[in-house]
Amino acid sequence: MIAYDLKCTNGHTFEGWFEDLKAFECQKRKKLIACPVCNDTSVAVVPSTFAIKTSSCQPQKADAADKGEDEISVGKIMDFLGKNFEDVGPDFAREALKMHYGVSENRNIRGTSTKVEEDMLEQEGIKFVKIPTPRLDS
């Protein structure tokens, strides 16, 4: 799977996930890709703002200081998720289905799901990302 940043002719940007570039182009040609804001089907791939910061070619050390930095990074990620994603707890699958079928408004959610629920979401064509949440107090 590959994620593309997309933009409609009205200037709205959004993200789309595709098997590959060929799949994106096929769906675009068939007008199957629509802006979630205005429903415009004239979309184009735009440069992504995603980047991976790398340092110089120094070898990585796995000492106690690095563990502290890792814990700080995990803490920042968890803080971001807490501030920007609504915690729906064990209702994750139910809420994802409601958004997918237009029963509720799209929003960023996080929560828990069972393997059975995850399989069902995949069968319904609902994309989600599993992020293990480590306990920092252990």
**pLDDT value of residue 45:** 87
Q: What is the mean pLDDT of each run of 10 residues along the chain (138 residues)?
A: 87 88 91 92 80 56 55 77 89 92 91 90 90 62
Instruction: Check residue 97 and give its pLDDT.
Output: 92
| CA–CA separation, 117 and 126 (whole Å) | 11
Instruction: Please give the pLDDT value at position 64.
Output: 47
Contact (CB, 8 A) for 127 and 106: no
